[in-house]
C-alpha cells in the first residue's frame, strides 16, 4: 500500500520512474536538466526566503543568505541528492520570539549552537531512529505539510506592502484579485500540460517564464517579487555573533537551539525519506544530520537565519528532473547571482506565477489516496493520520510527528498488552503447565500476574515461556512476584525456556529456572540498576 501511494504521488507530478533509471554519466543533456531544475528551484526560493525572514522578524537578506548557504552546503555533502534545503517557516515561527526579546545577534548565536547539536546527532547516528516513524504518521505529515504550504501562499493575495504585518494586510479585491487568480490558473495549466508536449524545459520553469513574459510584455499590474522587498545585496559577510560569552547567554539560546535542532532534523529526515521513496534511494540519515549541522554552523557565522530541508522545493526539484547534487548546487548559485546581479529582473517576476508553482506542489504533495484508505485501515491508524495532519497545521511539523509517534507507540503497546494469555494443561504426573503466549512487558505484566490460579493450582506448577518473550524490567518484576506468591503458599514453581539473560537478571526466581538445550537467546532491555542485581527492591 505504501509503495502504491508513493507511485501515484510520482504519477501526479508527471515524473519518470526514477527507481528504474541507473546512475547516469554527466552528459550535456543531463547537465542541462540539472541546471534548469536548479534555476526553477532558485526562483521559487526567493519569495519563500523573504516571507520566512518577515515571519522571523529579520531583514530579507538574512533569509536569502540562509537559503544560499544551507542550500549549497547540504547539496554538496547531504545524505540525499535531489533534496533542497533553506530557510523554512517551521523554524521561523520559533525564531520570532527570540529575535523580538533579545535581538538578531542572539539568533545568529542560536543557529551556530543549533548546528553543533545537529552535527552531534549525526555523529551519534541518531538519524536512524527516523525509521521508527510509522507510515500513518508519514501520511499525516505530507497531508499537513501540503495544507501548510497552501495556507502560506494566501499572503500573496494581499495588497503589496501589507502582507508582512502579523495578522494584518488587506486582501486583493475586484479586478486585481481576478487577474491574480487567472495568472495562477494559467501557470498551473502550463505546468500540467507542458510534460505532455515536451520535457526539454522543466514544466515549472516554463510556467514561470511564460507568465512572467506575459505580465512584463503587456504591463499587467499584479503583485511582483519586488513588492515584497528588495533582494539586492552583496556576498554574505563573515560575522561573529556579538553576544556575551557567558553562562547567561547559554541559558538564553540553549532552549531555542534544542527546539530548532529537533525541528530541523525531523523535517529534514522525513523529507529525506519521502524523496528516497520516490527516487528509490536508501540511507544517508546520519550524513544528512551532519550536513544540516555544518550548514547551520556556517550560516550562523555569515548572517543567516538557519534552516533545514524544504519539502516543497525538493518536490519542485524532483519534478523538474533534478536527481543529482548539481541541481542543488546550481539552485544555491543561481540564488546568489540573483542577489548580486539580477535582482531588478527577478523582482519583476509576478508572484502569481510562483504561487501557481506552489499550488501544483500542494496537489502533488497531498496524499489523496489517504482519503480513501481511511475507511479501510484500522481505526487507530486513521485517527493518527488525521491527528498528525491537524497538529501539523495548528502547531508545527516536529510536534505533530512526535505526537503521532507517541500515539502510535501507545496503541501498539496496548494491542500487545492484550495479547498476553496462557494455555493450561495438566501433565500425567499431576503438574499444571502454563504455556505463556505473547510478549511480556510493562503493558502486559498485570495481565500476566492475573493468569495464575495460585490457590487452586497443584503443588507443582510449570510456567513455559517458549512462545513468549521477556522484554523489560517490568516483565522480570512480574515473574519475581508470581514466584514469590507460589513460594508463600508452599508450592513448587518451575520456569522454563527463559533466555540466559533472564537467568542472570532474575534474583529470587533465578533458582526456579529449569535449563534446557532449546532455551531462547535474546537480550532483555533493562536499566543498569537491574543488570547489577537491583530488581524492584528485591
Which region, left, alpha or beta, applies to residue 283 given φ > 0 means left and ψ of -120 to 50 means alpha? left
More confident residue, 534 or 168: 168
Q: How confident is the model at residue 510, as a pLDDT?
A: 64
46-57 residue pLDDT tens: 888 887 888 788
Tens-digit pLDDT profile for residues 62-114: 999 999 999 999 999 998 888 999 998 778 878 988 999 999 999 999 999 99
DSSP codes, 456-505: TS-SEEEEEEEEEEE-BHHHHHHHHHHHHHHHHTT-EEEEES--HHHHHH
Asked if residues 319 and 72 have their Cβ atoms less than 8 Å apart, the reply is: no
C-alpha cell at 350: 509576478
Predicted confidence band of residue 8 (pLDDT cuts 50, 70, 90): very low
Give how far Cα 355 sits from Cα of 31, 179, 190, Å. 27, 13, 13
Give me the residue spans of the domains in the chain: 2-161+170-408, 418-531
For the stretch 196-218, pLDDT in tens is 888 888 889 999 999 999 999 99
Most confidently modeled range among 136-150, 286-300, 395-409: 286-300
* Region class of 434: left (phi > 0), else alpha (psi between -120 and 50), else beta: beta
Q: What's the predicted TM-score (pTM) here?
A: 0.74
**What is the C-alpha separation between 140 and 272, in angstroms, rounded?**
16
* Average pLDDT rounded to a whole number, residues 479-484: 90
How many angstroms separate the CA atoms of 21 and 18, rounded? 5
Report the pLDDT averaged over residues 289-295. 96
Mean pLDDT lowest among 28-32, 131-135, 313-317:
131-135
- Which residue blocks in 366-420 are alpha helix, DSSP H? 369-373, 379-394, 397-417
pLDDT given for residue 252 in this prediction:
95
Yes or no: say if 18 and 323 are a contact pair by the CB < 8 Å rule.
yes
CATH of domain 418-531: 3.30.750.24
- Other CB atoms within 10 Å distance of the CB of residue 511: 9
Give the ranges where 280-350 is alpha helix by DSSP (H).
285-300, 311-319, 325-340, 343-346
The pLDDT, as a whole number, for residue 507 is: 66
CB atoms within 10 A of CB 29: 10
DSSP secondary structure code for residue 525 in this structure: B
Question: What is d(CA 345, CA 328) in angstroms, rounded to the nearest whole number?
Answer: 22
In the predicted structure, residue 478 carries a pLDDT above the cut 80: yes
Q: What average pLDDT score do residues 427-443 get?
A: 91
Amino acid at each position: 500500500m505504501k509503495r502504491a501511494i508513493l507511485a501515484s504521488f510520482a504519477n501526479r507530478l508527471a515524473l519518470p520512474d526514477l527507481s528504474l533509471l541507473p546512475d547516469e554519466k554527466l552528459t550535456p543533456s543531463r547537465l542541462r536538466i540539472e541546471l534548469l531544475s536548479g534555476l526553477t528551484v532558485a526562483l521559487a526560493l526567493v519569495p519563500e526566503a523573504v516571507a520566512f525572514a518577515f515571519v522571523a522578524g529579520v531583514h530579507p537578506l538574512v533569509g536569502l543568505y540562509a537559503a544560499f548557504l544551507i542550500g549549497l552546503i547540504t547539496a554538496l555533502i547531504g545524505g540525499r541528492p535531489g533534496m533542497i534545503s533553506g530557510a523554512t517557516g517551521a523554524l521561523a515561527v520559533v525564531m520570532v520570539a527570540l529575535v523580538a526579546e533579545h535581538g538578531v545577534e542572539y539568533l545568529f548565536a542560536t543557529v551556530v549552537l543549533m548546528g553543533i547539536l545537529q552535527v552531534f546527532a549525526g555523529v551519534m547516528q541518531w538519524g536512524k531512529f527516523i525509521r521508527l516513524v510509522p507510515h500513518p504518521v508519514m501520511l499525516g505529515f505530507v497531508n499537513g505539510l501540503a495544507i501548510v504550504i497552501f495556507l502560506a501562499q494566501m499572503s500573496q493575495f494581499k495588497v503589496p506592502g501589507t502582507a508582512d504585518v502579523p495578522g494584518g494586510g488587506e486582501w486583493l479585491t475586484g479586478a486585481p484579485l481576478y487577474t491574480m487568480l487567472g495568472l495562477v490558473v494559467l501557470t498551473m495549466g502550463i505546468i500540467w500540460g507542458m510534460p505532455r508536449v515536451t520535457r526539454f524545459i522543466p514544466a515549472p520553469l516554463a510556467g514561470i517564464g511564460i507568465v512572467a513574459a506575459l505580465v512584463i510584455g503587456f504591463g499587467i499590474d499584479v503583485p511582483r517579487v519586488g513588492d515584497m522587498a528588495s533582494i539586492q545585496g552583496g556576498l554574505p559577510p563573515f560575522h561573529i555573533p556579538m553576544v556575551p560569552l557567558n553562562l547567561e547567554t547559554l541559558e538564553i539560546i540553549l532552549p531555542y537551539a534544542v527546539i530548532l535542532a529537533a525541528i530541523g532534523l525531523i523535517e529534514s529526515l522525513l523529507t529525506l525519506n519521502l524523496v528516497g521513496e520516490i527516487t528509490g534511494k536508501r540511507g544517508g540519515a546520519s550524513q544528512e544530520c551532519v550536513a544540516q549541522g555544518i550548514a547551520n554552523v556556517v550560516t550562523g557565522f555569515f548572517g543567516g537565519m538557519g534552516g533545514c530541508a524544504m519539502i516543497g522545493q525538493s518536490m519542485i526539484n524532483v519534478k523538474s528532473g533534478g536527481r543529482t547534487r548539481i541541481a542543488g548546487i546550481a539552485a544555491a548559485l543561481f540564488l546568489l547571482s540573483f542577489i548580486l546581479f539580477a535582482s531588478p529582473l527577478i523582482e519583476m517576476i509576478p508572484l502569481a506565477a510562483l504561487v501557481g508553482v506552489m499550488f501544483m506542489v500542494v496537489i502533488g504533495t497531498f496524499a489523496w489516496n489517504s482519503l480513501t484508505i481511511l475507511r479501510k485501515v484500522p481505526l487507530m491508524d486513521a485517527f493518527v493520520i488525521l491527528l498528525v495532519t491537524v497538529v501539523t497545521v495548528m502547531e508545527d511539523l516536529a510536534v505533530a510527528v512526535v505526537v503521532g509517534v507517541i500515539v502510535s507507540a501507545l496503541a501498539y503497546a496496548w494491542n500487545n498488552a492484550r495479547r498476553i494469555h496462557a494455555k493450561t494443561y495438566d501433565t500425567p504426573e499431576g503438574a499444571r503447565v502454563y504455556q505463556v503466549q505473547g510478549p511480556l512487558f510493562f503493558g502486559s505484566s498485570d495481565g500476566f500476574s492475573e493468569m495464575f490460579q495460585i490457590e487452586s493450582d497443584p503443588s507443582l506448577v510449570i510456567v513455559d515461556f517458549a512462545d513468549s518473550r521477556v522484554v523489560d524490567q517490568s516483565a522480570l518484576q512480574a515473574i519475581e512476584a508470581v514466584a514469590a506468591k507460589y513460594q508463600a503458599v508452599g508450592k513448587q514453581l518451575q520456569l522454563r525456556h527463559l533466555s540466559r539473560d533472564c537467568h542472570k537478571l532474575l534474583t529470587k526466581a533465578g533458582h526456579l529456572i529449569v535449563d534446557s538445550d532449546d532455551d531462547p537467546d535474546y537480550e532483555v532491555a533493562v536499566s543498569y540498576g537491574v543488570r547489577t542485581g537491583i530488581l524492584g527492591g528485591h
